């Protein structure tokens, strides 16, 4: 059918079509398998048609047709293509995907490598308090804020989205606005991932056991809807990074129960006071039993740490 009905298909490597059909086969297999389960446990939908204008441009190539030589890669029908940087990992190539983000093309090469080496043990446990004012507060009193650049970029994204919606459908200006927005979204994803990768690895280097609190959404200020939306999506990605990297590097991540009163308990060793009336805008509070003045977030992070570590005796003050 290719020659008569879809002559444009001859312009690409025949394996591109084969890989697409293979993906379709996998999608159908998942769906059929899922149909045997009770309705509530199903995870897959019937495969959907892709559309050129809506779906991301991407295609897969079989690993034996792609060659990498330093900072260039051989792609069937295209020939040698320069890459921005050489492949950083040695080992047989397993999977090749070419995709477009904004107006850039990416090639993703999956390589089989040796398992990651575990990070050195530190014999320390740490607790994290995820918040809005500070993105992360550690039980050692370190406060890390979400990058201001990220918040600026998200504001820019909202503006570009509005601009796009005002452009006439099908016009050239609309196409231009679309590219602008796509570039902005790409920058946001890059800045955010870089920040979260670095933060998560620093935390995994510092501690063997890491306690995190299930998101403390109630503890958030009200008038910061945008900041809250940004922080919330960054938190879940951050936790995801922490978990899979902990698996790689031989560390442990434990989540504390949502109802654990981490902010209300006094973290001074030996003091069991609980401040039931703590309000959302109290950033510090004074323990009437041991006399210590607590920073709300650091106190919570210490309690989270004590909850996940068996020792729990380190000095909280
Ligand atoms: Zn106390």
101 plus 176 within the same structural domain:
no
Instruction: Give me ligand 1 centre to Cα 294, in Å.
Output: 9
152 plus 251 within the same structural domain:
yes
107 plus 150 within the same structural domain:
no
DSSP 97: E
What digits encode the pLDDT tens for the residues 31-84?
999 999 998 888 888 998 888 777 888 888 888 889 999 999 999 888 999 999
Is residue 197 included in any domain, yes or no? yes
For residue 23, the enclosing domain spans 2-111
Which of helix, strand or coil describes residue 275? coil
Instruction: Give me ligand 1 centre to Cα 286, in Å.
Output: 8
Chain-centroid distance, C-alpha 204: 16
53 plus 165 within the same structural domain:
no
Average pLDDT over residues 159-183: 92
Is residue 207 included in any domain, yes or no? yes
State residue 215's pLDDT score: 61
Instruction: Give me ligand 1 centre to Cα 293, in Å.
Output: 9
239 plus 170 within the same structural domain:
yes
134 plus 243 within the same structural domain:
yes
Catalytic residue, chosen from 213, 240, 255, 281, is: 213
More confident site: 195 or 228? 195
Catalytic residue, chosen from 34, 90, 129, 163, is: 129
The answer, yes or no, to whether residue 294 has pLDDT greater than 90, is yes
Question: Among 80, 111, 142, where does a domain finish?
Answer: 111
State residue 310's pLDDT score: 61
Is residue 283 included in any domain, yes or no? no
- The rounded mean pLDDT for the chain is 87
More confident site: 257 or 164? 164
Could you tell me the pLDDT band of residue 272, with boundaries at 50, 70 and 90?
Answer: confident
Is residue 129 included in any domain, yes or no? yes
Is residue 315 included in any domain, yes or no? no
166 plus 250 within the same structural domain:
yes
Tell me, yes or no, if 129 is annotated catalytic: yes
Tell me, yes or no, if 289 is annotated catalytic: no
- Give the H or E element holding residue 247: helix 225-249
More confident site: 114 or 269? 269
Tell me, yes or no, if 247 is annotated catalytic: no
Instruction: Give me ligand 1 centre to Cα 40, in Å.
Output: 47
Instruction: Give me ligand 1 centre to Cα 270, in Å.
Output: 8
């Amino acid at each position: 059918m290719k020659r008569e009905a879809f002559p444009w298909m001859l312009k690409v490597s025949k394996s591109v079509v084969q890989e697409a059909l293979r993906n379709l086969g996998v999608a159908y297999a998942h769906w059929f398998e899922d149909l045997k389960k009770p309705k509530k446990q199903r995870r897959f939908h019937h495969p959907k048609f892709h559309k050129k204008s809506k779906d991301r441009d991407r295609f897969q190539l079989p690993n034996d047709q792609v060659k990498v030589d330093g900072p260039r890669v051989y792609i069937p029908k295209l020939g040698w293509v320069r890459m921005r940087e050489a492949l950083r990992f040695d080992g047989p190539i397993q999977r090749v995907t070419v995709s477009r983000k904004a107006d850039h093309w990416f090639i993703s090469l999956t390589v089989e490598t040796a398992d990651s080496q575990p990070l050195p043990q530190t014999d320390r446990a740490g607790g994290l308090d995820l918040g809005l004012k500070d993105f992360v507060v550690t039980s050692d009193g370190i406060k890390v804020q979400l990058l201001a650049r990220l918040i600026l970029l998200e504001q820019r994204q909202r503006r570009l989205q509005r601009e796009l919606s005002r452009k006439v459908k099908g016009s050239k200006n609309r196409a231009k606005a679309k590219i602008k927005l796509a570039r902005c979204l790409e920058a946001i994803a890059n800045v955010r991932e870089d920040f979260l990768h670095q933060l998560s690895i620093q935390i995994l280097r510092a501690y063997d056991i890491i306690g995190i609190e299930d998101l403390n959404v109630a503890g958030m200020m009200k008038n910061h809807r945008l900041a809250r939306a940004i922080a919330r999506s960054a938190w879940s990605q951050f936790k995801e990074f922490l978990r899979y990297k902990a698996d790689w590097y031989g560390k442990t991540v434990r989540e504390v129960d949502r109802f654990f009163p981490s902010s209300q308990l006094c973290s001074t060793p030996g003091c069991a006071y609980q401040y039931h009336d703590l309000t959302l805008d109290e950033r510090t509070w004074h323990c009437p039993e041991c006399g210590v003045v607590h920073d709300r977030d650091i106190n919570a992070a210490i309690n989270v740490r004590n909850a996940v570590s068996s020792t729990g005796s380190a000095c909280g003050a």
